[in-house]
Amino acid sequence: MINSLKRKKAVLELSNGMKFEGKLIGYDAAVSGEMVFNTGMLGYSESMSDPSYIGQILVFSFCLIGNYGVPKLTNDDFLTALGHESSSIKTQGIIVSEIFDESYHYGSMIPLEQWMIEQKVPGIAGIDTRYLVQTIRNTRNLFGWIVPEGCKKENTIRKFPFIENFKKDEYIDPSKFNLMPTVSAKERKVFGTGRKKVAVVDCGVKWNILRMLVDRGCQIELVPWDTDFSTVEADGWLISNGPGDPRNTGDLVERVKELLNGNKPVLGICLGHQIISLASGAKIKKMPYGHRSHNQPVFIIPEQKAFMTSQNHSYTVDPSTIAKDWSLWFENANDKGVEGIKHKTKPFMSVQFHPEASSGPNDTAWILTEFINKL
Amino acid sequence: MILNFLKSKGNKKQKVILLGSGALSIGQAGEFDYSGSQAVKALQEENLEVIVVNPNIASVQTNKDIDKKVYLYPVTPFWVTKVIEKEKPVGIISSFGGQTALNCVIDLYKSGVLQKYGVEVLGTSVNSLEMSENRDLFAAKMKEINVPIPASKAVSTVKEALKVAEEIGYPVITRSAFALGGLGSGLAENKEKLEQLASAALMSVPQILIEKSLYGWKEIEYEVMRDRQGNCITICNMENFDPMGIHTGDSIVVAPCQTIDNIENNMLRDTAIKIVHNIGVIGECNVQFALSPYTKEFYVIEINARLSRSSALASKATGYPIAYIAAKVVSGFNLLELKNPVTQTTSAFYEPSLDYVTLKVPRWDLTKFTGVSKLLGTQMKSVGEVMAIGRNFCEITQKAIRMVNENDEGITTGIFKNATKKELEYEIANPTNLRLFAIYEAFKRGYSIDKISDLSKISKWFLAHVKHLADTENELVELIRKSKTKTVYDTFNNLGKEYIRNLKKLGFSDYQLVKFFLTVKEPNKKHTQKEIKKLSLEIRKLRKKLNIVPVVKQIDTTSAEYPTSSNYLYLSYDGTHNDIELTKKNSGIITLGSGSYRIGSSCEFDWCSVMTSKYFKTKRADSIIINCNPETVSTDFSTSNRLYFEELSFERVLDIVDIEKPKGVIACMGGQNPNNLIPSLNDAKVKILGHSAKTVDMAEDRNKFSALLDKMGIDQPEWISATSRKEIDEFINRVGYPVLIRPSFVLSGTLMNVAGDEKSRTITL
């Protein structure tokens, strides 16, 4: 509920030639990114800090964003930083209809806009986000520039290394490059002191996955995406969520194949699911409309047991290519898409949705428990 | 799939009884006609013969129809038994007729009638219903599954009271167990206060209850649906603007929740689902929570394992037809087998996503009763409600307050303009139906958000928006004062396009803007509503020139994630793009609904609008409804070809006329509220179908009506039309007491009174 009259103008320029004019919020700089949206009504801080959104401009379809400020974040401590999925904002920028400029919630550290300024992330408010969502939905591969009044594209903010690959006024398409080096941990790191140890392959892992493993009594070894997996001792493997095209992840798929030759439990989440699917021999395709919401209905095929899930992806497994040792585990109740696959004999499973939620419903948190029980 | 025993045997359809809610009462009104009507439709589609038992003749569900029988009998065990004996149904449905139907079915089950005739209760079992209704059973169940409920314990000594309070934690409420009217009850923040309260109370009664006080906590509701399979969704969450302490029926309610974060939301959602699972609900259930404004602490307050006012509101707020789907679920379907009726392609196992925000405001008619306290509390007093839809909180606040009072000025009316500081603060701390107006006035006078939040316990997020409106009014009035221009048009033209667009985005009506102008520029002149409305057309002209017009948005349950052809619409200034393109121009017929239910205008006018709209839907396939009452059948999107969930105001109806360019507008089917719009719409060259402005005027204006009767030689009591006391006194001197004093153009005798003597005459006037 900013006093929008006193604000600087900003324009969203789209790669299809359309322009949306609004008011600048956050940091005063130009940025480019792939246009994506999320229809979740809460959980903006989780989404903005989710590494899966790297290189993207995120449009919130819900009209009022920032109502409860930004939750506290101390010393990058993932265990206590509920509401944060990494230590910083990962989206290039955000587009909202209205932003709330104060924060009155007891759990809030600072107002949303303040956070954006601190993290050098621009955004635009006063946009007809419903129209913009329709535009994104109807246009394959749409990219955008946030350009504040009087600001030149040359002065764009380049927070992440892969962006250096683009010319200064070019639209940024994150799926053109392997984003793993940008989002993955640089060193191996061990957390917690559980009886069982899970090796988490960091493809841009959300903190809530780590929190849930620790809460369930596991020790975690977080390993960089390019680690030689044979050097890691673990009771099981989790291939994490992450950004970009799963086919553009270097030799990761090849190395995951090795894990599938073994017998230790493996769980894949979102990008991790797509990597495991590729490693198992299935094919990946880009969807006509991605799934970007907190209300994706999925169900387990034989039992017809249904769950509400949080999702954010534009690639999916082609169901006709699922390998013969694997079976379809979960299906989407809306478009019949593949939501999860399971190995017929070995303890391998992977899901397209986010059992760690954050943000979104916790209906499928049991999947992490089931995985741990197999360790 | 449908349950086996509900399947037709050969050509013979099976019969099920659907209980209605009976006569309207406070807390149980038109929403059950909406729920019941949807259920009838859903069951008929499954080849069932529906036997409706409901004595409410003003309801849509008691309409004559094929595959439906209607018994206009009381919804009591005695009469329903008679229907069972005669019709021999295989099933009975209790969840669409409010508390009345629920109690009736529990009774019929306990007395063995249902077992005797082999009638199955469809949906939630009677055992589960009892668990949800009986306080002790419910508390035991919640304890078993680890869900916190507010602690409460009976004590008979002060010492015990202090011990219990220590366990429960301060503040606590004391209630006298056997005393009438809340005698001896009170709020104790600490030991000293409790000692004082308890010892005073225990002097007159043997036992008092010590209860955890949740006064000022956030009140949050979830609408949950569960099928036989155990699949469960929460369709909508809602947050009360007024914190705990005011009945949710008397609270202003926003959907979806606005002041809680993702973690709190999912914590409560998980709990709601857990409760519904463990109680064993099949169908719809409403779950109410109190959530601390300072921690993650919460309590479940109660659940309603049936359709309710909240579920009707949630249906209208999200577009998801809860009652329709619930009826399919109780007849045996699981949610995965059903489609979302709004999208028609996606699954009914779905939690709607909103890209707009809605606000419900209750309607009170407390002025119609003398001697009724206007203070709001734990007992519901409102008789109706409206819901506003928009893209920001300021916009919906403005819309909703105008809708509920059928008043073009809305929140800026200035009811507390002349109140003292003390009166203002008292109203804010001890709310009546007028609290929001007091808060607005306080902000106009420069009160801080902190101060108002301290007094009212209302969440600061809400208050910040009310303050923004008040600040905007103050600033605008100052700008008008400084302006040198003489006319409305020039003055606003000088403010500039962006400024006016911002005012409209914040929900200010043209009428309100003119009123600000007149208050500043012509403070000593009294203007009639008609004059102000005429001037408001000047602003309209200017806006159109500057291209500041509202856009039409769809309610589609998916926030545009999937393409839909939803016909459920609202208007907003907070947007640039119209969702719909009208293919058939100039052919629609607009029916104006009744607006909020109130004393003297309820279900019956909804029935009239529904019949009108359905007629045009069938005959012309271009029927349009405008209404803002979420408890109605007319706002079911299947009643018309296009539903505008909008204000029944002069300005908004003109907006929709501009968009639709209809063949005509029918304003005589929704009761007094739309009827009153006829003259101004007529002046604005809108084609009115049905009664014309002239005939309405002749019937409603006492003067003209009586003159007509005189002309036709029909007798009537002697009368005058008076505008001063002197005229009245002269008349009374001539005809003598008693006399009837009534205003023109009002509903069901508002402000109409019999004066038997001079004293009562003075009071009435």
Structural domains of chain B sorted by starting position, each given as residue range(s) with its CATH number in brackets: 4-122 (3.40.50.20), 152-212 (3.30.1490.20), 218-354 (3.30.470.20), 407-545 (1.10.1030.10), 563-691 (3.40.50.20), 701-764 (no CATH)
Please, which residues 51-90 of chain A have a Cβ atom closer than 8 Å to chain B? 61-64, 67-68, 71, 82-83
Contacts of B498 in chain A (CB under 8 A): 5
Q: Do B351 and A361 touch (CB under 8 A)?
A: yes
Quote the pLDDT of residue B730: 85
Nearest CA in chain B to A292: B561
Chain A residue closest in CA terms to B578 = A131
Contact between chains at B336 and A289 (C-beta distance less than 8 A): no
Q: So where are chain A's domains?
A: 4-176, 180-373
**Pairwise CB contact (< 8 Å): B345 & A334:** yes
Contact B306, B284 (CB under 8 A): yes
**How far is residue A71's CA from residue A103's CA, in Å, rounded to a whole number?**
10
Quickly state the pLDDT bin for B197 (edges 50, 70, 90): confident
- For the annotated catalytic residues of A, the residue numbers are 270, 354, 356
Q: What is the mean pLDDT of residues B156-170?
A: 90
Give the tokens for residue B483: 């302006």
Does pLDDT of B258 surpass 60? yes
Which pLDDT does position B131 carry in this prediction?
Answer: 92
* C-alpha distance from A105 to closest chain B C-alpha (Å): 7
Residue A242 · residue A273 · CB < 8 Å: no
Length of chain B: 765
Q: Which of B394, B561, B577 sits opposite A137 (nearest CB)?
A: B561
Interface of A with B in 4-43 (CB under 8 A): 4-5, 20, 37, 39-43
Yes or no, beta carbons of B261 and A102 under 8 Å apart: no
Task: Report CA Rg, chain A.
Answer: 20
Cα distance between residue A30 and residue A14, in whole Å: 13
Report the DSSP beta bridge partners of residue B28: B25
**Mean pLDDT of all residues belonging to chain B:** 91
Q: Cα distance from A70 to chain B (closest Cα, Å)?
A: 10
Identify the pLDDT of residue B330.
Answer: 97
Query: Mean pLDDT throughout B422-437?
Result: 95
Among chain A residues, the shortest Cα distance to B555 is held by A130
Instruction: Determine the average pLDDT of the residues in B292-305.
Output: 94
- The per-residue pLDDT for range A61-78, each reduced to its tens digit, is 999 999 999 999 887 688
Count contacts between A and B (CB, < 8 Å): 171
pLDDT band for B746, please (50, 70, 90 cuts): low
Greater pLDDT, B189 or A318: A318
Mean pLDDT of A228-238: 96
Mark yes or no for CB contact A133/B352 under 8 Å.
Answer: no
Helix and strand numbers (H, E) in chain A are: 8, 21
What residues pair up with B255 in beta bridges, in sequence order? B358
User: Does A131 sit within 8 Å of B576, measured CB to CB?
Assistant: yes
Strands A284-300 and A305-317: antiparallel
Least confident of A267-271, B402-406, B757-761: B757-761
Question: In the block, which residue shows the tokens 């209760």?
Answer: B121
- Give B294→chain A minimum CA distance, Å: 6
Instruction: Say which DSSP state A8 is in.
Output: P
- pLDDT for the residue B623: 95
Lowest mean pLDDT among A287-296, B80-89, B186-195: B186-195
Decide if pLDDT at B760 tops 80. Answer: no
Q: Grade residue B181 by pLDDT with cuts at 50, 70 and 90.
A: very low
Q: Which residues contact B216 (CB under 8 A, 6 or more apart)?
A: B243, B244, B245, B293, B457
CA distance B260 to A102: 14
- Backbone φ and ψ for B255, nearest 5 degrees, come out as -135, 135
- Residue to mutate among B561, B573, B576, B579, with most A CBs inside 10 A, is B561
Q: How far is CA B49 from the centre of its chain?
A: 32
Let me know: does B375 contact B597? Beta carbons within 8 Å. Answer: no
- Where does residue A55 fall: left (phi above 0), alpha (psi -120 to 50 degrees), or beta otherwise? left
Give the mutation candidate from A65, A104, A207, A339 for the B interface (greatest B CB count, under 10 A): A104
Share of chain B above pLDDT 70, in %: 96
What's the longest Cα–Cα distance across chain B? Answer: 84
Look at A63 and B461 and tell me if their CB atoms are within 8 Å. no
Report the residue from B468, B498, B553 with minimal CB separation from A130: B553
Name the residue among B345, B392, B461 with its Cβ closest to that of A98.
Answer: B392
The alpha-carbon gap from B565 to the nearest alpha carbon of chain A, in Å, equals 13
Q: Work out the minimum CA distance from B398 to partner chain A, whole angstroms.
A: 15
B752: left (phi > 0), else alpha (psi -120 to 50), else beta?
Answer: beta
Tell me the per-residue pLDDT of A162-195, one tens digit each, with 9 for 90 and over. Answer: 999 999 889 999 999 999 999 999 999 999 888 9
Fold of the CATH domain A180-373:
Rossmann fold (3.40.50)
pLDDT at B761 exceeding the cut of 80: no
Q: Which residue has the higher pLDDT, B723 or A356?
A: A356
Contact (CB<8Å) B336/A299: yes
What does the pLDDT average to over B581-608? 86
Q: What is the mean pLDDT of residues B277-286?
A: 97
| Topology alike, domains A4-176 and A180-373 | no
A128 pLDDT above the threshold of 70: yes
Q: Using CB atoms, which residue from B258, B498, B575 is nearest to A130?
A: B575
Query: Is residue A249 predicted with pLDDT exceeding 80?
Result: yes
- Test B502 with A293 for CB contact under 8 angstroms: no
Dist CA A210 CA A224 (whole Å): 14
Listed residue (A243, A258, A218, A208) closest to A364, CA to CA: A208
Q: Which residues of A touch B558 (CB under 8 A)?
A: 39, 293
If you average pLDDT over residues B574-587, what whole number do you get?
Answer: 84
Is A295 an 8 Å CB contact of chain B?
Answer: yes
Give the pLDDT score at B175. Answer: 75
Query: Among A4, A104, A360, whose Cβ lies nearest the Cβ of B502?
Result: A4
Q: What is the pLDDT of residues B473-492, one digit of tens each?
A: 999 999 999 999 999 999 99
Contacts of A313 in chain B (CB under 8 A): none
pLDDT band per the 50, 70, 90 thresholds, residue B204: confident
Q: Report the range of poorest mean pLDDT among A363-372, B219-228, B375-384.
A: B375-384
pLDDT tens digits for B632-679? Answer: 999 999 999 999 999 999 999 999 999 999 999 999 999 888 999 999
**Contact across the interface for B262 and A360, Cβ inside 8 Å:** yes
What integer pLDDT is reported at residue B136 of this predicted model?
84
What percentage of chain A exceeds 90 in pLDDT? 90
Instruction: Measure CB to CB from residue A295 to each of B258, B350, B356 and give the nearest one.
Output: B350
A67–B562 C-beta distance less than 8 A: no
Fold classification of A4-176 (topology level): Glucose Oxidase; domain 1 (3.50.30)
DSSP B13: P
pLDDT at B751: 67
Confidence of residue B366 (pLDDT cuts 50, 70, 90): confident
Are B561 and A289 an interchain contact pair (Cβ–Cβ within 8 Å)? yes
